[in-house]
Amino acid sequence: MNVRLFVWQRITAAIMAPLVLGHLAVIFYATTNGLSAAEILGRTRGSVGWALFYGVFVFAASVHGAIGVRQIAAEWGRVRGTALDLLMFLFGGLLFLLGLRAVVAVVLP
Amino acid sequence: MGDTLDVWLWRGGEDGAYRRYEVPQRQSQTVLDVVTYVQRHLDPTLAYRFACRVGMCGSCAMTVNGRPRWTCRTHVSKVSDGGKLEIGPLANLPVIKDLTTDMTRFFEKWVEADGRFVPSATRHDPLPRISPESDARVEADAAIECINCGICFAACDTVRWNEDYLGPAALNRAWTLVNDERDAGNTSRLEAVAAKGGCHACHTHQSCEQHCPKALNPTASIAGLKRRTMKAFIRGEIK
């Protein structure tokens, strides 16, 4: 971990903090009228707001998680050098793609 | 209080083992007294390190019943486990022989953390006036009494699993200099402690604070360095 990674991890944590609260609030709200796919998709499809909300969330989580996994691999797995950075980018990229796929699936009309 | 202590001392190098000795128990006896008794009366080949015997020099740190401690200021009555004492060399440092460790790595980290004062004036300039109440001086004061004993280094989990980590003592030293208004070396110092293995590797387990015999809080110093380096990085002052 160096200061560059530390700043990225802290900034993405700061971005995610309100988004997590928003996400939790939506979970409570969504279950009040019975949880159904139709209701969820009715709220998210075509919505630029939800696309931005969860798009930013996915990006921040990918960056934050990838830096954390890099640190775990370095300290527990003794991974070093280029392999360590490669692992971080691959894991972050995978998280981002999977997350983006989920966002696209619920916001595209 | 029993008559004798059941003392187990580490003997040999890295592949050594604990050996048992019987040592008379006395009032106000320190762990260093016990080790000294063994060397003077039972086995003169025992190797250990001490100098001042009054908690100033930082030479006599050892692992006592599983915890790193300064042995000259540790009373047997406070740490013995029913009259049993297990005394070994400090962890996270190579063992030279018996209770002595090679502290080269520990002190090299101080150099790597730019832990030396860089003067900003010459001897011909007037002495700077620094208020004892100034924020920087208060921060430096809280961290300045380190005796270089290596106990925090031995207690630190991050030191154990990350060989690049500078460790609590070196970072604590860097923090005192960052807060020294007379010092002119902060750009390179902040870069040194913000690099791989620097202050950001700390997991805030606070073992250093828990074990520091001088009751310092290196974790707080490291947190200060994290804040200061983050600001410097965002402002573009360090890379």
Biggest distance spanned by C-alpha atoms of chain A: 51
**Collapsed DSSP state (helix, strand, coil) of residue B221:** helix
pLDDT of residue B93: 97
CB A87 within 8 A of CB A73: yes
Q: List CB contacts (< 8 A) between A5 and chain B.
A: 200
pLDDT band at B1 (very low <50, low <70, confident <90, very high): low
Instruction: Provide CB contacts within 8 A for A47, sequence distance 6+.
Output: A107
Question: Which one is predicted more confidently, B92 or A28?
Answer: B92
Alpha-carbon torsion B224, B229, B232, B233, what sign? negative
Mean local confidence (pLDDT), B113-139:
94
Q: What is the pLDDT confidence band of residue B178, given thresholds at 50, 70 and 90?
A: very high
pTM: 0.88
pLDDT, average across residues B208-220:
97
Residue B166 near chain A (CB below 8 Å): no
Mean pLDDT lowest for which of A55-64, A69-78, B172-181? A69-78
Q: Is the pLDDT of residue B32 over 80?
A: yes
Summarised one tens digit per residue, pLDDT across range B67-118 is 999 999 999 999 999 999 999 999 999 999 999 999 999 999 999 999 999 9
Per-residue pLDDT, B106: 97
Checking if the pLDDT of B175 tops 80, the result is yes
Q: Across the interface, which of B162, B200, B234 has its CB nearest the CB of A2? A: B200
pLDDT for position B211: 97
CA distance A49 to chain B (A): 30
Q: Is the pLDDT of residue A39 over 80?
A: yes
Structure token digits, residue B37: 């008794």
- When pLDDT is cut at 50, 70 and 90, the band that residue A32 belongs to is confident
Alpha carbon distance B89, B200 (integer Å):
28
Chain A residues whose beta carbon lies within 8 Å of the beta carbon of residue B229: 3, 6
Contact assignment for B230 to A7 by CB distance below 8 Å: yes
Domains belonging to chain B, first-starting first, are 4-101 (3.10.20.30), 104-234 (1.10.1060.10)
Determine how many CB atoms are found less than 10 A away from the CB of residue A15: 17
Chain B residue with minimal CA distance to A5?
B200
A74 and B162 in contact by Cβ < 8 A?
yes
Q: State the pLDDT at residue A50.
A: 93
Query: Region A10-32: what's the mean pLDDT?
Result: 93
- The number of distinct structural domains making up chain A is 1
Tell me which residue range forms the domain holding A57.
3-107
Helix then strand then coil, % of chain B, to nearest 5: 40, 15, 45
Q: What was the pLDDT predicted at A30?
A: 83
CB B14 within 8 A of CB B40: no
Distance CA A85, CA A82 (A): 5
User: Per-residue pLDDT averaged across B20-43, rounded?
Assistant: 97
- Whole-Å CA distances, B210 to B108, B146, B171, B229: 24, 14, 16, 25
Q: How confident is the model at residue A11 (pLDDT cuts 50, 70, 90)?
A: very high
Question: Which residues 65-94 of chain B have a CB within 8 Å of chain A?
Answer: none
Mean pLDDT of B61-72: 98
In chain B, whose CA is at the least distance from the CA of A8?
B230
pLDDT at position B51: 97
| The CA-based dihedral angle spanning residues B209, B96, B99, B112, taken in that order and rounded to the nearest 10 degrees | -20
Buried b (16+ CB within 10 A) or exposed e, B187-211: eebbbbbbbebbbbbbbeebbbbeb
Closest residue of chain A to B161, computed from CA coordinates: A75
Read off the CATH number of the domain in which A67 is found. 1.20.1300.10
Task: Indicate the residue of A2, A10, A76 with minimum beta-carbon distance to B198.
Answer: A2
